[in-house]
Amino acid sequence: MSGFRHVVLFKWAEGTTTGQQEEVAAKLSELPGVIDEIREYSMGADAGVNPGAYDFGLVADFARREDYLVYRDHPAHRAVIEQYITPIVAERASIQYET
């Protein structure tokens, strides 16, 4: 099924607590219930297999580019970013591609 995929990886700042990381995952996990445009939503903390890996990854699938933009700019999403993610981010890597 063709669509549009958003991928984002984060490295958390030194001193970030497990609780803060779990809160990010918990808050993000609420978004599919709020933003109908999300088709698939998968996330997880690094499994610790490879040195140098990022700490947290999220893959979100949409039917089309426009649906991703709705998600990107949705107030509920922006609120999670501003309140829970931005305060603890050290590095961010992302891409969007057509599937």
Nearest approach in angstroms of CB 60 to a second copy is: 11
Residues that bind a second copy (CB under 8 A): 4-5, 7, 9, 42-47, 49-50, 52-57, 59, 65, 68-69, 72, 91, 93-99
Q: Which is nearer to a second copy, 83 or 94 (CB)?
A: 94
Nearest approach in angstroms of CB 61 to a second copy is: 9
Nearest approach in angstroms of CB 75 to a second copy is: 18
**In the block, which residue shows the tokens 């309140």?**
83
**In the block, which residue shows the tokens 């999300």?**
38
How far is Cα 74 from Cα 1, in angstroms, rounded to an integer? 24
